[in-house]
Structure 1
Amino acid sequence: MNDDRVEGNWKQFKGKIKEQWGKLTDDDLDVIAGKRDQLAGKIQERHGVARDEADRQIRDFESRNPDARWR
């Protein structure tokens, strides 16, 4: 998948990600920029959960949003 499609997809999912993880800021989402490992790190930081819990939450999000694409 080319970067343009990932970027467009990311813009679509930013709102859903903010709904799921409300403590993430717009600045956080700009830093994450569609990178799954960055998302997991910010979830850990903002929500105070362990890495495996952040990964589990992302997997749950992916199962509900099959069009989610990461870099």
Structure 2
Amino acid sequence: MNSDTAKGNWKQIKGEFKEKFGSITNDKTTEAEGTFNKLVGEIQEKYGETREAIEKEVKSW
């Protein structure tokens, strides 16, 4: 497991927390940020890409 894959795991956890925490507090910004972080984390874990490369790709969609 390379460092980008490990970072992806952590980002998924943080994303899930923000997603749930945002819905608990009705903070849509935190909830949306959590969803995005979770997506980036999952892609990063699977492919071992850097966060910057993944964000650039996702934003181009």
The structure with the largest alpha-carbon Rg is: 2
Same fold (TM over 0.5): no
Normalising TM by the smaller chain, what interval?
Answer: 0.3 to 0.5
Greater per-residue helix proportion: 2
TM-score, reference length from structure 2: 0.42
- TM (norm. structure 1) is 0.36
